[in-house]
């Protein structure tokens, strides 16, 4: 007898059929989304990703989706499930699931989206520690940095980027929640002395956040993005630039 197998998915029984409705589309050939449905038997603690794997390995589904680690590290398996962006290796399978690609990114095929716009945005921010003082040798004297540690948990799955209403509105001056979290990792690092008044980082890129916290509900790492990243980065920018 297994001592502990209860969890949030305890209402589903082993072998019970789950209904998956999956958005299929190749944007180079298909004008519209084609919906396909599959039935997948529930297995112990099944994740959404496990159900998709069953569709391809056992039902001949040939659905295009991306994943690498299956363990909340690679950040490449986020999709929209029942209307909400989520990391599919992390969230439990549900009795009925409508699965779509992430929003706010170009579609490659089916459930695969192109991360390039985000990666380009991030690269432009030069997200690496910009040292003020020369390196002192290993190990360098450093304090505990709890604010940085919190943001380091971000795996850049872009679930929050997909949920953000400001990003969805098409406001290109706004960085979006994922990029702000990544920026915060370096701006809040005691070693970093980047030019916050420089051309690439304006207050507006962060300030357009509406604090609706839709991003936080999607975050598989449980980061309180608005207080832990947006507000802290905003405070730091104001302290340095005097704006």
Partner 1 sequence: MIERLAADVVVIGGGAAGANAALKARALGLEPLMLVKGFLGRSGGSLLAAFLVMPTPPKNDRRAELDAAVRYYNHYLADEDYILEVQRYAREEFFPELEQRGLYIRREENGKIALSPFGSLGIMSPGKYGDAGRLVMDLRRKEVFGQGLRVREQTMATAIVVRDGEAIGVCALDLLTGRLLAISAKAVILATGHTDQLATRATGTRDQCANGLAMAYRAGAEMRNLEMQWWHANDIKSPASWSRVQTYPNPLLGTKEVARHYNNRGDMFFDLHAAPGSPAPYTLQLRRLAQQVQQGLARWDGEYYASYSHIDPAPIRKYNLVADFYDKLGLDVGRDRVECAVTWHMRQGGINVKPLTMETNVEGLFIAGAVGGHTLGNLVYVSHDGQAAACRSAERARRAKAVALTDAEVDREAARVLGFLRSEPRDGVQPAALKREIRQVMWDHMGYVKSEAGMRAGLEKIERLRREKFPRLRLATTSTRWNRAWIDALDADDMLTVAEITIRSSLHRKESRGPFYREDYPVTDHEHWLRHTILRRDARGEPVITSAPVNLKWVTPPAKQEDFFKTDY
Instruction: Choose which of 16, 26, 171, 195 interacts with partner 1 (CB under 8 A).
Output: 26
Q: For partner 1, give the closer residue by CB, 72 or 213.
A: 72
Q: How many Å apart are CA 137 and CA 44, to the nearest integer?
A: 49
Long-range contacts of 13-16 (CB under 8 A, 24+ apart): 13/42, 14/41, 14/42, 14/43, 14/44, 15/41, 15/42, 16/41, 16/42, 16/95
Cβ at position 191, least distance to partner 1 in Å = 7
Q: In angstroms, how far is CA 58 from the centroid of its own chain?
A: 28
28 binds partner 1 (CB under 8 A): yes
Sign of the torsion angle spanned by Cα atoms 214, 215, 216, 220: positive
* Per-residue CA distances from 86 to 64, 115, 127, 175, 182 (Å): 17, 16, 25, 20, 19
* Per-residue CA distances from 12 to 4, 16, 43, 132 (Å): 16, 7, 9, 55
> Which of the stretches 95-103, 148-156, 166-174, 233-241 binds partner 1 when contact is defined by CB under 8 A?
148-156
75 binds partner 1 (CB under 8 A): yes
Cβ at position 167, least distance to partner 1 in Å = 21
Instruction: Choose which of 103, 191, 208, 213 interacts with partner 1 (CB under 8 A).
Output: 191
Q: 18 is written with which tokens? A: 């789950």
Instruction: Choose which of 67, 86, 104, 226 interacts with partner 1 (CB under 8 A).
Output: 67
Instruction: Choose which of 21, 36, 41, 43 interacts with partner 1 (CB under 8 A).
Output: 43
Instruction: Choose which of 145, 207, 224, 240 interacts with partner 1 (CB under 8 A).
Output: 145
Contact mark string toward partner 1, 105..144, x via CB under 8 A: ---xx--x----------x--xxxx-x---x-xxxxxxxx
Cβ at position 174, least distance to partner 1 in Å = 22
The upper half-sphere exposure of residue 111, i.e. CA atoms within 13 Å in the direction of its Cβ, equals: 29
Strand partners, 40: 18
* Pair 231, 215: CB distance under 8 Å: no
148 binds partner 1 (CB under 8 A): yes
Contact mark string toward partner 1, 44..63, x via CB under 8 A: xxxx-xx--x--xxx-x-xx
Instruction: Choose which of 85, 155, 181, 209 interacts with partner 1 (CB under 8 A).
Output: 155
- Sheet of strand 84-87, all strands in order from the earlier edge strand to the far edge: 34-41, 17-24, 96-100, 78-81, 84-87
Q: 222 is written with which tokens? A: 């449980």
Cβ at position 235, least distance to partner 1 in Å = 21
**Binding region for partner 1 (CB under 8 A):** 2-8, 10, 26, 28-29, 43-47, 49-50, 53, 56-58, 60, 62-65, 67-76, 89-90, 92, 108-109, 112, 123, 126-129, 131, 135, 137-145, 148-149, 152-153, 155, 186, 189, 191, 221-222
């Amino acid at each position: 007898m297994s001592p502990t197998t209860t969890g949030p998915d305890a209402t589903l029984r082993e072998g019970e059929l789950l209904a998956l409705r999956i958005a299929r589309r190749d944007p180079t050939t298909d004008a519209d989304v084609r919906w396909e449905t599959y039935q997948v038997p529930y297995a112990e603690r099944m994740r959404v990703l496990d159900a998709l794997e069953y569709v391809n390995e056992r039902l001949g589904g040939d659905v295009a989706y991306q994943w690498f680690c299956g363990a909340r590290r690679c950040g490449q398996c986020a999709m929209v499930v029942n209307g909400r962006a989520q990391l599919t290796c992390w969230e439990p399978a549900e009795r009925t699931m409508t699965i779509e690609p992430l929003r706010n990114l170009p579609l490659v095929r089916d459930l695969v989206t192109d991360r390039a716009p985000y990666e380009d945005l991030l690269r432009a921010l030069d997200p690496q520690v910009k040292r003020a003082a020369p390196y002192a040798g290993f190990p360098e004297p450093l304090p505990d940095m709890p604010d940085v540690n919190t943001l380091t948990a971000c795996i850049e799955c872009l679930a929050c980027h997909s949920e953000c209403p400001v990003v969805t509105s098409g406001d290109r001056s706004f960085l979006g929640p994922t990029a702000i979290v990544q920026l915060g990792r370096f701006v809040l690092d005691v070693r970093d002395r980047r030019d916050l008044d420089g051309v690439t980082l304006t207050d507006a890129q962060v300030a357009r956040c509406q604090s609706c916290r839709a991003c936080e509900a999607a975050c598989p790492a449980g980061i309180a993005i608005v207080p832990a990243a947006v507000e802290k980065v905003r405070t730091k920018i104001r302290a340095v630039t005097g704006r």
